[in-house]
Structure 1
Amino acid sequence: MTGPKVTIIMATYNRAHFIAETLSSIQKQTYLNWECLIIDDGGTDNTIEIISPILEQDSRFKYLKRPEGYKKGLPGCRNYGLDLAKGDFIIFFDDDDIVHPQNLELCVNELNQNQVSFCRYKREVFFNDFDYNFNYTKEYSSFTIDVNRIADMLTNKLPFNSCAVMWKKECFTNNRFVEHLMYAEEWELYSRILSSKVQGISINKTLFYGRKHSNSNTGEFFDHNPVRRESHVNAVLLIIQNLKEKQLLTPSLIRYFITISVGFKEYNLFNKIIEILDPSVLKRLQWSFFYRSYPLRILVYKIKKSLK
């Protein structure tokens, strides 16, 4: 096995019914120099029984249990994996998804050939059974990403899914997941890395397939799970604080976050944002008017749209 080593970090929790298919897709990678750290977050199902044949067959897979020194949850498991990683490059995969066979190969090629710190790629979703009819072309367009695209990343115009980026290990030298976040943890961390002015490349090829089901962090968030919603609020506040300190917080981003706060009144998000911003009295009044008038403006917009 030649070339830089890739560390795949996979947190798992009670996914015995999905994980074997995910690991199988990793085994089929065209790039061979990798290790996969499977971090069990204290699951109670038969995951270890399901994956034992794979562990015995392929020494590149390592099964570990999250130690008590790391907080329970996805961020704690991933931080543990980061501390153990021996690879030059880091990538996070979930325990219920499918990886394109060329995922590692194409990302490693991009990171080797370009002076960039990460390689982003496209992700698609699927329901129920997966169609293994992959597109193996190596011809695709690409574009660079730098700190000037941070607003696009935060507003989801340029999505940064947690499993759709390969990073150089140095990106995590001074950066780790915030372990009390139980949702939007990668949104917060990836924006923090991008705000440090690293440069990356995005390739227009789908290399990862996310399984859609209700028993996921994202599914629980949209079902108004209070733990996930509170975590989203805390992630917003951490992002705003970081951007303010680095003088990257633009008026348009402030408007975006204040717009978000309308949907989180029970967490008093707007006032917490204002507290971090610490604006002048006039600016405080302007933002307050923007916040309070937003629902009415949205209603007027919807009425106008329906009339057209």
Structure 2
Amino acid sequence: MEVMPKVSIVMATYNRSEFILESIQSILAQTYQEWECIIIDDGGTDNTREILSPVLNQDFRFKYFIRTPNYKKGLPGSRNYGLDLVKGDYIIFFDDDDIAHPQNLELCVFELSKKDVSFCRYIRDVFSGDFIYNYDYSKLYTSFYIDHNNIESILKNELLFNSCAVMWKKKCFENRRFEEDLMYAEEWELYSRIISSGTKGISINKSLFYGRKHPNSNTGEFFRNDPIRRSSNAYAICLVISNLKKRKLLSYTILRYFIQVALGYKEYKLFERIINILDLTKIEELKWRLFYAHLPLRLYFYGIWKKVKK
């Protein structure tokens, strides 16, 4: 009798009683049933536990834990706690306010059964308000491989790696965890660290997850210029640059991109932090300082040129 590989779903939650049951129901609706769902409560104060009680009592695959003091408060700490509890062959992170396509686990497990890949990425769509349950159940889709050669596209968010849009083989998290001091971009930092190490995966062109847009999400707070989220993003950029430098993958175009990003993070002294990480010669440092100093003017004239070109 063939043993089906088990998927470990890690769901961190915090005061999300309004949405979490719908997320849980999308897990129960999965066509692939060999899974466990580790729910980590980050110390919420609402009635999430009460709402989940019927499900927890009826289905042993759901396990509910309160984050312990051994992990820092926040999404990274809660997910790390979940990672230390999982028992499955494959790991996937679901948020407590989103909805998974019924074929999510089935199709990812199928792709990961191929020995030459360690993760499966898919498309994540977004929605506002009530979710429209009208799924595409087709198993016909195109795909392409991803490895360290795609790191620039990933870092620039041209090839999106949302936290809930990838299933990983468990080995990807051996000696790797989320940076618990990050309150934003923690998955972007960790996933780039995994892929830059030489890990190869596949991306399938099918929507398998639906992210709920609402103002209380981490992403919503970031785009409202929340200082905690912005400071975290600046720190994540520094961690990414340090990792790429160590792995000799920090190209000129990647560095130029982040130095341009640093213009929007002057209050966090991001440019100076990047320069300190690089350990440049005096000449190289001077070149980048001149580039940074003239960058606003160059961007201004570039914007005019784009308008004229249209």
Give the TM interval when normalised to the shorter protein. Answer: over 0.9
Alignment map for 1:1-308 (pairs within 5 Å) = 2-307=3-308, 308=310
Give the 3-state SS of the residue equivalent to 2:31 in structure 1.
coil
8 Å contact kept, 1:38–1:63: yes
- 1:24-58 Cα shifts (integer Å, max 9, x gaps): 00000000000000100000001011111111121
TM-score, normalised with respect to structure 1 = 0.98
8 Å contact kept, 1:2–1:33: no
Give the 3-state SS of the residue equivalent to 1:289 in structure 2.
helix
- The percent of aligned pairs where both chains have the same amino acid is 63
- 1:91-144 Cα shifts (integer Å, max 9, x gaps): 000000000000000000000134111000010000001111000000101011
How far 1:2 moved relative to its partner? Answer: 4.6
How far 1:296 moved relative to its partner? Answer: 1.5
How far 1:289 moved relative to its partner? Answer: 1.8
2: CA distance, partners of 1:254 / 1:288 = 13
2: CA distance, partners of 1:75 / 1:268 = 24
8 Å contact kept, 1:4–1:89: yes
- 1:236-289 Cα shifts (integer Å, max 9, x gaps): 111111111111110011001101100000011001100111112221121112
2: CA distance, partners of 1:217 / 1:299 = 31
How far 1:195 moved relative to its partner? Answer: 1.1
- 1:143-175 Cα shifts (integer Å, max 9, x gaps): 111111111111111110000000000000111
Q: Can you give the 5+ residue segments of structure 1 that lack an aligned partner in the other structure?
A: none
Q: Can you give the 5+ residue segments of structure 2 that lack an aligned partner in the other structure?
A: none
* Compared CA separation, residues 79 and 37, structure 1 to 2 (3 A): same
Q: Which amino acid aligns with 1:298?
A: L
- 1:167-217 Cα shifts (integer Å, max 9, x gaps): 000000111001010000001100100111011000000000000011011
Q: Which amino acid aligns with 1:288?
A: R
8 Å contact kept, 1:39–1:77: yes
2: CA distance, partners of 1:304 / 1:256 = 20
- 1:56-79 Cα shifts (integer Å, max 9, x gaps): 121111111000110000000000
Q: How many pairs are equivalent?
A: 308
1: CA distance, partners of 2:112 / 2:136 = 21
Tell me the C-alpha RMSD between the 2 structures: 1.1
Which aligned segments of 4 or more residues in structure 1 are displaced greater than 3 angstroms?
Answer: none
2: CA distance, partners of 1:249 / 1:101 = 39
